[in-house]
Amino acid sequence: MTADPETAWQRYTVSAELLHRDDMAAALRGRDFGAAFLLMRKWDHVSQDRIASSIEGFSQSRISRIAGGKAKVEEVEVIERIADGLRIPGAMVGLAPRPWEVPGAAGVAPRPPRETLRVPTHLREQAGGAFGAPPVVPRRDEVTDSIRQLLACIEPPAAGRGRRVELPPIDLEAKILNAWSSGRPREGSPVLVMVAGFPGSGKTEFARFICEITGWSLLDKDTMSRPLTESLLLSMDTDPNDRQGEVYTGRIRPLEYRAMFDTAFDNLRLGLPTVVTAPFVRELTDAAWMERMKKRCAKAGAAIAVVWLRCDIDSQRDYLESRDAARDTWKLSYWDEYVATIDPDQRPVCTHYVVDNSRHARSNLAEHARRLASRIRDAS
């Protein structure tokens, strides 16, 4: 494998050799950027991260979706950004010559200096800040405005009941929007975002939405552990869908949470912001547990934010019936008995954000998140 024509910390532009290849010319002529990105990786030996860092508003996850055929590039404005960022001549993608192709054109700004590739904070600190990432330029587009509208339903951190655990302050909205605007998921210190709430409150949808726009890692307890949990319950002669009995709550549930957090902290130590989603109903009402988590994050050099999904009882039932999951069978079959075990007004004992996901909420989170995530995937 040949080395990158530029140093590993410089902005990427498509090599002249690749632009002269017939397969690359055909991909660009057909505006098949999925094929073009794959050819860049194959012949210029460049990572998806580095391609994304060279295109305004792109993230590695967006490059991955396009290269994998899950998203297309059709809007002229986006094609222009790709051409300008990677220095692809306009004629090759059906555009007029780009301003930077015209030497000395009046009013044309000089080519911006090459940006440095994003580097995890802990590595930048070890290097004395020599590889600092370029500043974030806030985006002004429909997606950004929609994100602000949705995040407006996040209330400022509020005190929980009983003993209060003060978490270090963090502007979660700003951090999310910075990741979206810059396309740099690792910008600044890593953050652990705990998305919590009762079953059927919309935790998974909200967590996926956050990761969709930021490129942060997502760890969903059910996705990570459900097959293993069901096998363990069967091996113990227990219903594989039982989430109320002592076998699950006393022996298996603690292992699920331990595996999820061990994985999360592996990510954080690598500088990867991570969103974890699970009920956390017991954990977030245990001040001692929250103090331990706070200290563990501090030791890993990570910020921590807790988001609680508020949802009334009727809305929870609607969501559970809608997803029709086997693990919810007992709850729906014995609804009154189940409801008697939960307090819909419960809040974490730590400072936290609250998102109202009730059916009557001013902003319908589920519908808004689905619509916005779809626009993000398609507007590329």
270 shares a domain with 144: yes
Residue 211 has pLDDT above 80, yes or no: yes
Q: Check whether 153 has a pLDDT greater than 80.
A: no
Q: Are residues 214 and 73 in the same domain?
A: no
281 and 148 co-located in one domain: yes
Of 68-72, 151-155, 341-345, the least confident? 151-155
What's the predicted TM-score (pTM) here?
Answer: 0.61
* Residue 157: band (very low, low, confident or very high) from pLDDT cuts 50, 70, 90: low
In a domain, 127, yes or no: no
- Clarify whether residues 293 and 228 are in a common domain: yes
Query: How confident is the model at residue 7, as a pLDDT?
Result: 38
Last residue of a domain, one of 52, 74, 103: 103
Q: What percent of the chain has pLDDT over 70?
A: 77
Q: Is residue 117 part of a domain?
A: no
pLDDT for the residue 52: 87
Residue 160 falls inside a structural domain: yes
* 370 and 273 fall within a common domain: yes
Looking at the fold, whether 196 and 294 belong to one and the same domain comes out as: yes
Q: What mean pLDDT is predicted for residues 226-237?
A: 90
CB 286 within 8 A of CB 229: no
Residue 130 lies in a domain: no
The dihedral built from the CA positions of residue 50, 54, 55 and 57, taken in this order, carries a sign that is positive
Last residue of a domain, one of 83, 103, 123: 103
On whether residue 163 sits in a domain, the answer given is yes
With a cut of 60, say whether residue 106 has pLDDT above it: no
Alpha carbons 377 and 58: distance in angstroms, whole number:
11
In a domain, 267, yes or no: yes
List, for residues 283-308, the tens digit of each pLDDT value. Answer: 998 999 999 999 999 999 999 999 98
Mean pLDDT of 147-164: 66
Q: 272: pLDDT confidence band, cut at 50, 70 and 90? A: very high
Q: Do 94 and 228 reside in the same domain of the chain?
A: no
Predicted local distance difference test score (pLDDT) of residue 378: 55
Residues 157-169 have a mean pLDDT of 71
Q: For residue 212, name the pLDDT band (cuts at 50, 70, 90).
A: confident
Q: What is residue 4's predicted lDDT score, i.e. its pLDDT?
A: 39
CATH code of the domain covering residue 99: 1.10.260
> Are 155 and 300 in the same domain?
yes
Q: What pLDDT shows up at residue 5? A: 40
Predicted confidence (pLDDT) per residue in 233-261, tens digit: 899 998 888 888 899 889 999 999 999 99
Mean pLDDT of 123-146: 55
Identify the pLDDT of residue 305: 92
- Distance set, CA 315 to CA 151, 294, 367 (Å): 20, 32, 14
Q: Express each pLDDT in 302-347 by its tens digit.
A: 999 999 888 888 878 887 887 777 777 878 888 888 888 888 888 8
* CATH classification at residue 147: 3.40.50.300
Q: Quick one: pLDDT at residue 380? A: 45
Domain that holds residue 59: 16-103
Is 122 part of any domain? no
> Which residues, including other chains, have CB under 8 Å from residue 212's CB and lie 6 or more apart?
61, 373, 376, 377
pLDDT at 126: 44
Within this chain, do residues 94 and 144 fall inside the same structural domain, yes or no?
no
Instruction: Tell me, yes or no, whether 94 and 159 share the same domain.
Output: no
- Please tell me whether residues 206 and 338 are part of one structural domain: yes
Determine which of 57-66, 215-224, 361-370 has the lowest per-residue pLDDT on average.
361-370
Domain count, the chain: 2
Q: Where is mean pLDDT largest: 177-186, 264-273, 362-371? A: 264-273
**Boundary of a domain, candidates 103, 129, 151:** 103
Co-location of 217 and 322 in the same domain: yes
Average pLDDT, the chain: 80
Residue 374 has pLDDT above 80, yes or no: no
The percentage of the chain sitting over the pLDDT mark of 90, rounded to a whole number, equals 32
Comparing 119 with 347, which gets the higher pLDDT?
347
Length in residues, the chain: 380
